[in-house]
Amino acid sequence: MKIAIVILNWNGQALLQQFLPSVVEHSKGADIYVADNASSDDSIPFLKKQFPNVKIVQNISNGGYAKGYNDALSYIDADIFCLLNNDVEVTANWLTAIIKEFETNDSTTIIQPKILDHKNKAYFEYAGAGGGFIDKYGYAYCRGRVFNRIKKDKQQYDDTTPIFWASGACFFIRKSAFQELNGFDESYFAHFEEIDLCWRAFNKNMVTTYVGASTVYHLGGATLNAINPQKTYLNFRNSLFTLTKNANGFLFGIIFIRLTLDGLASLKFLLDLKPAHFWAILRSHFSYYAHLPRLLKQRQKLQQKKNYYQTVSVVWSYFVRKRYRY
C-alpha cells in the first residue's frame, strides 16, 4: 500500500523547520511531499537545501486548503493520501495502525488518528481531538472537545471506531475515494472543507474511522488563530454551506433554526465586547445568501442520507443542559 504524506504550506518555513523532521524520521516507507501554495518566503529554497528527499509540488497560487490540496494531489500517485498540516509533530510508528486499518477493512475510506495539543501534550487538541461528529444543525464537536471545553487524554479514546468527520490537520483518505468525491469544495477556501468531504462520503456509505493507536500533536492556529475574526467568518459560513448541501430532511426548517442560533451567537460576541466577531457572523450570513442558489443546485446533484447526527443540538446540550463532554 503506497502512502503519500502531503503537507500543505504557505509561508511556513519556520513551521517546516520545527515539525518536518519528525515526519521524516517516523514515516519510513512513505513518500513525503510539500505542496506549496505560492509562498513568498524562503520555504522552497529551505526545503531543497535541508530536505532534498522531500518532494515539492508548487501550486501557482494560494487557493487555501481546499484548492491547494485539489491542485497538488492531482500530481501525486499513491493508494492513500495523508493530508498533514505543517504544524503537526508525528510520533514513532504513527503509520502502523493506520495502514493496518486500511488493509484489513476495505470499507474504511477516511481515517483520523488521536490529535493531542502540541502546547499541552496531556490534552486533546481542538481540531479533531478523539474524532468528530455533527449535530442536526451543522455544529461540529469532537470526542474530547465540545466548543472550547477540552478534555485531558486519559486513554479514554484509544479505540478504533467509526466517526462522522476527520480533522483536516491529519486526514487520511483513499485516493480512489478522493477522486470519486471530486475532492474538496474549492469555494470554502479554508475551514470545514474536510467535514463537507466526510459528509459527502457518509452519504455515499463510505466509512470514516478514528484510530486511537496512532497519535500526533497539533500546534493549531498557525495560519488563522481562534481570535481572528476571519476564522469565525469562514467557520460559520462554510458550516452553512455544508449543512445546505448535505443535510437530509426539511431543509428550510433546519436552516431557520440554525440561522437563529447563529444570531444568538453573534449577540453573545457583541455582549462580550467582540464586535469584529459579531460582524464576522453577519458577513458569513450575507455570503451564504449570495451563494444559496449555487448550493441548492449542488444539493440536487448530491445524495442525502438520514441519521447523520447523534445529538439534535449540541448548543442546547452544552449551554442549557450543561453537558460539557461527548
Q: 28-78, pLDDT tens digit by residue? A: 999 999 999 999 999 999 999 999 999 999 999 999 999 999 999 999 999
- Do residue 241 and residue 206 come from a single domain? no
The number of residues in the chain equals 326
- Residue 222's pLDDT is what? 55
- Do residue 233 and residue 210 come from a single domain? no
- Residue 50's pLDDT is what? 97
Cell of 49: 537545501
Question: Residue 120 domain-assigned?
Answer: yes
Closest to 207 in 3D by CA, of 169, 271, 164, 149: 164
* Residue where a domain stops, chosen among 196, 218, 240: 218
Cell of 206: 463510505
- Structurally, how many domains does the chain consist of? 2
Helix axes 193-203, 229-246, angle to 10 degrees: 10
Question: Residue 107 domain-assigned?
Answer: yes
The amino acid present at 219, given as its one-letter code, is: L
Closest to 172 in 3D by CA, of 67, 119, 100: 100
- Provide the pairing of β-strand 80-85 with 170-174: antiparallel
* Percent of the chain whose predicted confidence (pLDDT) is above 70: 98
- Do residue 168 and residue 236 come from a single domain? no
- Residue 10's pLDDT is what? 97
- Residue 325's pLDDT is what? 83
- Do residue 96 and residue 199 come from a single domain? yes
- Do residue 251 and residue 141 come from a single domain? no
Contacts of 71 (CB under 8 A, 6+ apart): 35, 57, 59, 63
- Do residue 86 and residue 188 come from a single domain? yes
Q: Averaged over 97-119, what is the pLDDT? A: 98
Model confidence at 298, pLDDT cuts 50, 70, 90, reads: very high
- Do residue 56 and residue 193 come from a single domain? yes
Closest to 168 in 3D by CA, of 151, 190, 187, 148: 190
Question: Residue 325 domain-assigned?
Answer: no
What secondary structure, in 3-state letters, does 253-297 show? HHHHHHHHHHHHHHHHHHHCCCHHHHHHHHHHHHHHHHHHHHHHH
- Residue 326's pLDDT is what? 83
Pairwise CA distance, residues 89 & 56, whole Å? 19
Q: Where do runs of H (alpha helix) occur along the chain?
A: 13-26, 43-50, 64-73, 96-104, 175-180, 193-203, 229-246, 251-271, 275-301, 314-315
- Residue 128's pLDDT is what? 96
Q: Averaged over 219-242, what is the pLDDT? A: 85
Cell of 82: 495523508
Question: Residue 160 domain-assigned?
Answer: yes
Q: Averaged over 18-26, what is the pLDDT? A: 98
* Residue where a domain stops, chosen among 192, 218, 244: 218
Q: Averaged over 292-311, what is the pLDDT? A: 96
Report whether 218 contacts 127 (CB < 8 A).
yes
Q: Is 113 left (phi over 0), alpha (psi -120 to 50) or beta?
A: beta
Cell of 303: 445524495
* Residue where a domain stops, chosen among 218, 250, 272: 218
- Do residue 49 and residue 182 come from a single domain? yes
Closest to 205 in 3D by CA, of 169, 242, 180, 241: 180
- Do residue 202 and residue 233 come from a single domain? no
Residue that is written with C-alpha cell 487538541 in the block = 125
- Do residue 196 and residue 157 come from a single domain? yes
Question: Residue 300 domain-assigned?
Answer: yes
- For the cut 70, the answer to whether the pLDDT of residue 148 exceeds it is yes
Q: What is the pLDDT of residues 258-268, one digit of tens each?
A: 999 999 999 99
Question: Residue 111 domain-assigned?
Answer: yes
- Do residue 210 and residue 239 come from a single domain? no
Q: Averaged over 82-107, what is the pLDDT? A: 98
CATH of the domain at 93: 3.90.550.10
- Do residue 38 and residue 109 come from a single domain? yes
Q: pTM for this structure?
A: 0.95
Question: Residue 223 domain-assigned?
Answer: no
Model confidence at 226, pLDDT cuts 50, 70, 90, reads: low
Q: Which domain holds residue 207?
A: 3-218
- Residue 231's pLDDT is what? 92
The amino acid present at 172, given as its one-letter code, is: F
Question: Residue 326 domain-assigned?
Answer: no
Report whether 163 contacts 209 (CB < 8 A).
yes
- For the cut 80, the answer to whether the pLDDT of residue 146 exceeds it is yes
